[in-house]
Every structure is written in C-alpha cells, then in structure tokens.
Amino acid sequence: MNINYKFITTLVLTVFSIYLVFALNTEGSERILLNLLTFAGIYGLSAIGLNVHFGWTGLLNFGHASFMGVGAYVTILLIPHAAGREGEFSTNGLPLIIALIVGVIAAALFGLLLGLPAIRLRGDYLAIVTIAAAEIFRLLVRDLESITGGVYGIISFSDSLQNYRPDFIDNLLTNFEFSPAQAWVGTLAWILIFVVLLLLKRLNNSPWGRALRAVREDEDAVRAMGKNAVWLKLQSFMLGAGIAGLSGVLLAFNYGSLQTTTFVPLLTFYVWAIMILGGVGSLMGPVFGSIIFWVIISETDRFAVLLFENANGQQIAGVRFVLVGLLIMFLMIFRPSGLLGKKEELLLNVK
C-alpha cells in the first residue's frame, strides 16, 4: 500500500516533469526530451552503481567520476580512435564489445586498487580519499598527452558503436530533428539499465546482498559473526565501479569525444543528487530520479527566464547550481528518503 503510493507519486512526478518539457518549450520539445532522456539513462546507470556503494554497503564514495572515467578511457583507447591535437586516426583496435568488457573490468579493478588501501577507512575519511583519487586520475589522464590526448581529448571513435546502429532508429527519427547516433546511445543506456537492474534485483535479495547490508549497519558485528567485512566491501566497490565504468563508456559515445573535463567532481555530485532524489538504497529510485533531475537541469534556462528577465548565459548557469542545491536541501528537509527510498532504511546518517 505504502509502496504503491510512493510509486504512484514518483510516476506522477516523472510524467509531470516530462510534461514540463513540452509546456516550457514551444518548439523542439521532442529534441530536448530525447536529449535529456539519453543523459538521464547514462547518469541513471551511474547512480545505480553508486547506490550499490552507498545504498547497499554504506560506502561514502565521492570519486564516482573516476570509475566512469576509467571505463571510458580504457574502452575508447582500445578501439580505433584519434587522440591529441593533431591526432592521427588509428584504424587498428579491438572490436567494441571486447574493449567494453576490458573497460568495465578495468573500472572494477580500479575500484579494487583504490579500495585496498582506502576501504578500511570509515565514513567521511573514505569520502576524502575517493575524491582525491578521482582528481589524481583526472589530472594524470590530462598530463599523459601522448596516450590520452591530454586536454585535446580523443575523437573519431564513434563509428565502432554507430556501425551497429539498427536501421529502425533512423527510420523512427525521420520526423524529428534528432541525431540517430545519440538516439542509439540513449537506447543502449536504457537497455543496459534494464539488464543491470535485473541482475541487481537478484543480488539484492540474495545472501550476498544481505551481507552487504549487514556491513552497512555494523562492520564490527559482521566481523564478530565470522564474515570478512573488508572483502565484502571490496566486492561491493568493484561491482559499483564496473557499472559506473559502463555508464562512462556510454557518456563518451554520447559526446562523441572524450575529454578529461567531463570527469570533474561535478559529475560525481550530479550522480549523488540523482541517487538522493530517487531514494538511497532503492533499486528503481535512480531511474526516476535521473529523469526528473535532467528535466530540472535542461529546463533551468526556462525557469531562469521566468525568474529573471534578460538573464545571460552565465547567470543561467548560476541558477542551475542554485536549483540543484535547493532541490537537495528541500529533499533533505522534507523527504530525506528520496522518492522511492524506505523511510525505515533512511540511509543518510553515515557512521
């Protein structure tokens, strides 16, 4: 009963925010909607990974962007690409599917590497270490110009994915001014969300998921029961990092170019906002949270115009942060368990 009520509210809110896109934009609303749904799919997938860390296991990970980055860079560097200022296109590379698997595993291993020294830390200390590690990763990628293209980034890699684009996407989009390439990335993102959620649902109800929740509640008691809390936390870290790596690859294909500036801490904070909005610890939460969040992000300029006449681009960008900040503040005050989170499992008090 309670769950249904929550679910209906969430659905209504989601539909309403999609309606807002049409209400606020007189033209091109389909294009805007498809664009934001693509981003929502990618960020939602990332938030699902973060939810494994924080919602299930209680790990305060503020370096999520680096997991996305590792997945993206490893995958893109393995497929045909052109890196750097005068980057030459290298035709030799692995097939995308193999590169993707390697990339996801690399992200998971990066989680393990980061976790081994850091995961014994608790609460905010882990947060500090992860945010620092994510910045180190980003700066390292920026400075390794010979491999990663540095500030010039990597381009010309999209064909590896777009060659697999089915015709029906192009046919469906003939009436819209929308890039079929982006639609294909968006479709994949939502398919992957579906698949990942199915897998996680299985794990959440399993003894393994139960063990993670126990770790979240009290590590000492977990140890006293003969369970290796550190190993459980590392497994959780790897799984969430792998999912983040997957979403990072999609993000790269969505932009069509890979830039270090994509993986700034702001990305992590967006993913956090999505997870909190959707409901920490809930499986479906990040999916709806992501859609609503992206409506807010992409329609900020409309709101800003309503609020301030003659606002320029810079001012609108400011309003965007104000709105996201306000959103999180109001959530914390009025609905700390998010849209779909269980009140009984309110998770925001980290030990």
Partner 1 sequence: MSNNLLEVKNLSKSFGGLKAVSIDLLTFQKNQLTSIIGPNGAGKTTFFDLISGFQNSDSGEIFFNGKEITNIQPHKIARFGMVRTFQLTKVFDRMTVLENLLFSGSSVKNDSFLKSFLNPPTQRNYEKELQNRAYKVMEELNIKHMANSYARELSGGQKKLLELARSIINNPDVLLLDEPLAGVNPKLAEEILSLILKLSQQGITIIMVEHNIEAVMKISDRIVVLAEGSLIAEGNPSEIRSNKKVIEAYLGSENE
Which residues sit at the interface with partner 1, rule CB under 8 A?
199, 202-203, 206-211, 213-214, 216-218, 220-229, 232, 235, 239, 344-347
Nearest to 202 by CA among 87, 330, 52, 99: 52
Distance CA 210, CA 213 (A): 5
The CB-of-43 to partner 1 minimum distance in angstroms stands at 25
The CB-of-202 to partner 1 minimum distance in angstroms stands at 7
Which ranges of 262-348 does DSSP label H, i.e. alpha helix? Answer: 265-278, 285-307, 313-334
The CB-of-198 to partner 1 minimum distance in angstroms stands at 12
The CB-of-156 to partner 1 minimum distance in angstroms stands at 37
Nearer to partner 1, 213 or 335 (CB): 213
- Give whole-number Cα distances, 50 to 20, 45, 305, in Å: 28, 9, 33
The CB-of-232 to partner 1 minimum distance in angstroms stands at 8
Nearer to partner 1, 167 or 344 (CB): 344
Contact (Cβ atoms closer than 8 angstroms) between residue 176 and residue 34: yes
Nearer to partner 1, 69 or 281 (CB): 281
The CB-of-281 to partner 1 minimum distance in angstroms stands at 9
Nearer to partner 1, 159 or 345 (CB): 345
Residue 283: strand, helix, or coil: coil
Nearer to partner 1, 34 or 203 (CB): 203
Distance CA 168, CA 251 (A): 22
Contact (Cβ atoms closer than 8 angstroms) between residue 28 and residue 234: no
The CB-of-136 to partner 1 minimum distance in angstroms stands at 28
Cα 2 → chain centroid: 28
Nearer to partner 1, 221 or 307 (CB): 221
Nearer to partner 1, 227 or 302 (CB): 227
DSSP code string of 225-245: TT--HHHHHHHHHHHHHHHHH
Nearer to partner 1, 55 or 186 (CB): 55
- For the chain, helix (H) and strand (E) counts, in that order, are 15, 3
Distance CA 229, CA 120 (A): 9
- Give whole-number Cα distances, 135 to 128, 138, 226, 263, in Å: 11, 5, 36, 9
Nearest to 240 by CA among 98, 41, 47, 43: 47
The CB-of-345 to partner 1 minimum distance in angstroms stands at 5
